[in-house]
Structure 1
């Protein structure tokens, strides 16, 4: 059976190296072949290797396919994720659906300071201010798994990984910031629309 060739490129080799390094240092043992493929794909800004493979096969549109037009966000997914946050932008409960969990974690990611190293107690204290269900460990673990945050092998130090948000993540972050400023109601309607 012939090997499937999948092109691999990145706009920022430095960010790629940082992402791979942080994903590798968060592990206690070497990754399997499939785990390594997923790490490479995430480091280049893809959801996982299957997403990279689908892009290469033309099964999903690329952001660059529409000339000059940004990739469109899935509005229904953004609305589902937005319902998981209160008016102050705190995650009220852990979503059941994985796609909503991942999107909600981008909003948490956006609230973490850049270039700051946290110990486990410090990152847990910060995460406690960003959610209401009392489980910072699940947020820490899942963010590390998604490549949004790195942790050292011994689990002592945590740091936000700089990545470009997906279109849905960018839309959710913008919506939650506007809502926190009082400009947008819980379902994405303007304040004038929700008050009538």
Structure 2
């Protein structure tokens, strides 16, 4: 059986050393091979080694332009600390969209729904107020399952949009998307162009 080669890097070796130090202090006796693998993976932001391996295996299936750096450059945002991207989650959510970038079905998992909402949020006009009817018209080309109320309600609940108490005025909240959302937004832009 061939061994999977799993690349490992860290943006801050000092932070990794501190994390490993804390892990080793908490570990009774000498840690075994698997314990050390888990410590290293947790030191760079993964839950454990299995999480690191699964994310690494999913990366080749992502579109080539999909990287945290490419997403940052595309959105002209200030740099944020590197964090491990959930490549499998991003890949799964990209499958929820048509080639034109419309959400074709409502994701079942909450984490997938939130990521999909970020992709919809990114295509909403910034700093503009909309009536409910106008918001429905803006959302129409962004989804293919014809339920704008579901999307409006979830955008508000996720803190990505505000709505007056009577539901008459909607406005996108300007926020910085998390790294996974940036990567998804970039992947959808790349797919729509290509």
TM range (shorter): 0.5 to 0.7
| Match of residue 128, structure 1, among 122, 140, 143 | 140
Alpha-carbon offset, residue 179 of structure 1: 0.5
SS in 2 for 1:88: coil
SS in 1 for 2:144: coil
Alignment partners' CA distance in 1, 2:115 and 2:81: 22
The TM-score, its normalising length taken from structure 2, stands at 0.59
Which residue does 1:108 correspond to in 2?
A: 120
**Count of residues paired in the alignment:** 120
Which residue does 1:73 correspond to in 2?
A: 85
Which residue does 1:86 correspond to in 2?
A: 98
Alignment partners' CA distance in 2, 1:126 and 1:140: 11
Structure 1 unmatched runs, 5+? 1-57, 62-67, 183-196
The one-character-per-residue Cα deviations of 1:135-179 (angstroms, maximum 9, x if unpaired) are 000000001000000001111000000111111100000000000
Question: Which structure has the higher relative contact order (CA within 8 Å, separation 6+)?
Answer: 1
SS in 2 for 1:108: helix
Structure 2 unmatched runs, 5+? 1-41, 46-79
Alignment partners' CA distance in 1, 2:90 and 2:139: 21
The TM-score, its normalising length taken from structure 1, stands at 0.58
